[in-house]
Amino acid sequence: MPPLRTLLALPLALALLALTPAATSLPVAPATDALLPLLVARGGAPAAALLSSGPSGVRYAQAGEGIARADHFRAGSVTKTFVATVVLQLAAERRLALSDTVERHLPGLVRGAGNDGRALTLRSLLTHTSGLYDFSADTRGTVPVTPLQAVRIALTHPPAGRGRFSYSNTNYVLLGLVVDRVTGRSYAAEAERRIIAPLGLTGTSFPGSRTSLPSPHGRDYAADGTDVTELDPRVAGAAGELVTTLADLDRFYTALLGGELLPPRRLREMLDTRAAHGAYGMGLFPERLPCGVTVWGHNGRISGSYVRTAATVDGRRVLTFRVNTDAIADPGLEPRLLAAEFCAGRP
């Protein structure tokens, strides 16, 4: 993870931070909110928004035009946290084991170019240590594919080094197929039954092949300015299909890290980064901030949308921010936002 032009940016920041009384009760905007306009001015985004939740309440801020608090948007790889949660719930129910081979659940599927599902475990998929090639490197996230097509694309390439952390969307496409095989229902149906409905995430869905976003929503733009609001989610599938809202993501990560969705042992496994040498747990990754706080969450990038959620390990404080384009042009802005949110008041 993936000079402040004060005289030019200050008038813009002051105008954009004129929040309504409903958005915040603080007399002065927090440092996080003051950085938000930079995602537009320096980050290349048409608009940006954030929602922070914690013991002090809920705070919303936005910058730019065409974005709103209640908007539905595509969450990309944040989908992986949902899929990993379902897999770990199934492990807690003893319907599968993380030490199971891929071959056990998907016999004969992962074979070719040196790849062998008999040598890969579900744990290696969850932690991105399988070495399987990322199919989206070939499709560039623009070509709709079925799960089997995605796997076949990956299997035309040799493994990238089994046992080493190598982020690959193919891992989570396979996990989606495992959930299908174990439960007899799609990963989307299982996530709806196990996570979305119990938590009341009314703005969250797995759209399948539906190209439109639910209302309300704004417009989404590729890096070159092309409107890509209409998108076939099969470009990502179980690795990045999710549609959601700021409030729903805050609620989900609060519940997950707060122990509402997994028993303690399984949550500890989810947060264990040893297999990925500190880079990734299972559907979550840590980021240590300059003040010493480590936050947990995931980012999501899909054509026209970038989102990041980060939370304290107990889930008591969580921040989700998004932009309505593919990426943030200035990569230094994201860690600055997280530090401003979670390090405030610390030495």
Domains, the chain, with CATH or none:
73-342 (3.40.710.10)
Mean pLDDT of the chain: 92
| pLDDT value of residue 11 | 37
pLDDT tens for 160-180 read: 888 999 999 999 999 999 999
| Mean pLDDT calculated for residue range 117-138 | 98
263: preceding bond cis by omega (within 30 degrees) = no
Q: 68 and 240 in contact (C-beta within 8 Å)?
A: no
Using the predicted structure, report yes or no on whether residue 20 has a pLDDT greater than 90: no
CA distance 297 to 286: 7
Q: For residue 347, name the pLDDT band (cuts at 50, 70, 90).
A: low
Q: Kindly report whether the global pTM for this prediction surpasses the value 0.85.
A: yes
For the chain, the C-alpha Rg in angstroms (whole number) is 20
DSSP 262-320: S-HHHHHHHH--TTTTTS--SS-EEEE-TTS-EEEEEEEEETTEEEEEEE-TTSSSEEE
| pLDDT value of residue 346 | 73
The HSE-up count of residue 105 (CA atoms within 13 Å, CB side) is: 24
Using the predicted structure, report yes or no on whether residue 93 has a pLDDT greater than 60: yes
Using the predicted structure, report yes or no on whether residue 240 has a pLDDT greater than 80: yes
Using the predicted structure, report yes or no on whether residue 142 has a pLDDT greater than 60: yes
Determine the 3-state secondary structure of 335 from DSSP: helix
User: Structure tokens of 190?
Assistant: 């299982």
CA distance 124 to 120: 6
Phi, psi of 146, rounded to the nearest 5 degrees: -80, 165
Q: Is 215 a catalytic residue?
A: no
Considering 77, 124, 130, 168, which one is annotated as catalytic?
A: 77
More confidently predicted of 28 and 117? 117
